[in-house]
């Protein structure tokens, strides 16, 4: 699985459904392995609620989860990089 491509799909979906989503993420508490501290958890309250709001059955294809727990640090890193890039773009 290409996690970077999946995260890019997730970003595009959030841009469409929840504009400004990246400003609502607390990176100090950010952890993609936590249903409350992941991207969807921080935006929608829980991972599961986020899936419902985005009309997804599973989040793997959009980088919101993985079927391999060992991949969660990779997803956390990729999302963190993209969030930081977005925040830098706003400042510049």
Residues in the chain: 92
Mean of the per-residue pLDDT values for the chain? 93
Q: Residue 31 class from Cβ within 10 Å (0-12 exposed, 13-18 middle, 19+ buried)?
A: middle
Which residues lie below 8 Å from residue 51, measured CB to CB, with a gap of 6+? 40, 57, 58, 59, 64
Name the pTM for this structure. 0.91
- Domains of the chain, residue spans: 3-91
Read off the pLDDT band of 19 (50, 70, 90).
very high
Three-state DSSP state, 1: coil
């Amino acid at each position: 699985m290409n996690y970077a491509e999946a995260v890019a799909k997730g970003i595009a979906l959030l841009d469409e459904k929840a504009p400004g989503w990246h400003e609502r993420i607390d990176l100090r508490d950010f952890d993609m392995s936590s249903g409350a501290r992941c991207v969807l958890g921080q935006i929608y309250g829980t991972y599961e609620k986020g899936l419902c709001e985005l009309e997804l059955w599973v989040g793997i294809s959009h980088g919101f989860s993985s079927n391999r727990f060992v991949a969660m640090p990779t997803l956390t890193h990729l999302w963190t990089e993209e969030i930081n890039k977005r925040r830098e773009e706003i400042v510049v």
